[in-house]
Amino acid sequence: MTARTVHPRQALFDADEAVAALPVCDHYCGVEARMRKSLELQAELGAVFDVTLDCEDGAPIGGETEHAHMVAELAASGANRHGRVGARVHPVDHASFADDVATLVARAGHRLAYLMVPKPRGLGDVERACAEIDHQSRVHNLARRLPVHALIETHGALREVEAIAAHPRIESLSFGLMDFVAAHRGAIPAHGMSAEGQFTHPLVLRAKLEIAAACHGHGKTPSHCVVTEFNDAQAITAAATRASRELGYTRMWSIHPNQIRPIVAAFAPSPAEVEHAIEIICAAQDAAWAPIRHRFAQRDTLHDRASYRYYWQVLERADRTGQPLPAPVRQRFFADAPRARRPDADE
């Protein structure tokens, strides 16, 4: 391999800088019928969004064991076509937590993309959860380390978010808006849970920024919280755009199929951004990753490895969101990646 053919992943990043390239949308569902419909949609569109099957809020009281078995069966089945299905378990202090983990790891650990741990009160709870997941993985001879995601939705978890993000077993942190607001015992008004208010209330905004900063500081994926106005396409588009463009989030929760397409579209780079990135990355590779001069908007600009990293990440995001890329570019940089459909391709 010559310097001119070194892939951007090898040329621009050290081994310890590798960050999991997760889909930009994480869709939650807890009722079996909705789980199956979500998996059908994912099979159709490709891995532009994850599906998280919910064993916490989705499980009926008294039926937790049966629900976990159903989730494991779906995750291990052919309906999980792209291997991008995760599961949310109960909190570590819930009686069903250990059973959830044991069932999911034993029956579907080889197919699960991750386990989501809700309501940790701090680093200690995250460590307990990871220890139990790893213990069950050893018991059942799982030949991989199952990625762990966690929800930051308590005061303690927010206080220790840097340490949680630094934990080597954590892949992604999500902000739990509703529980976080409730934990303030009425000090944050209900408006703080709305599509608009969650971006203006100082305490909520502070939490979002601290989570995003901690994740980026430790190479983890920050995942933005829900928008409950699920039939308001304008609200979800505006929230997703602000989360991506202003707050530094690279992933966002969906709680209704209507939200998936607007989230993916908002997190995708624009056609102009993609075209610009293609020009710079192709020229950089042709120059063996040495500095280049690039003509843009009738101005000459200089670029080197620092800006190459940014523009490569634009191309990766375009690929993850199913944006059209010229065939030579796809062959040059993404020949080993499965191609996803654009979520709006049938609209």
Q: Which domains does the chain carry? A: 3-13+270-333 (no CATH), 18-267 (3.20.20.60)
In this prediction, the residues of the chain whose per-residue pLDDT falls under 70 are 1-4, 15, 297, 337-347
Compute the mean pLDDT over every residue in the chain, rounded to the nearest whole number: 93
Are the C-beta atoms of 263 and 254 separated by less than 8 Å? yes
pLDDT of residue 340: 57
The closest of 236, 235, 329, 344 to 276, measured between CA atoms, is 329
pLDDT of residue 17: 73
pLDDT of residue 21: 87
Give the count of beta carbons closer than 10 Å to the beta carbon of residue 262: 25
For residue 226, CA distances in Å to 166, 175, 200, 243, 297 come to: 24, 9, 15, 11, 38
pLDDT of residue 2: 54
What is the pTM assigned to this prediction? 0.92
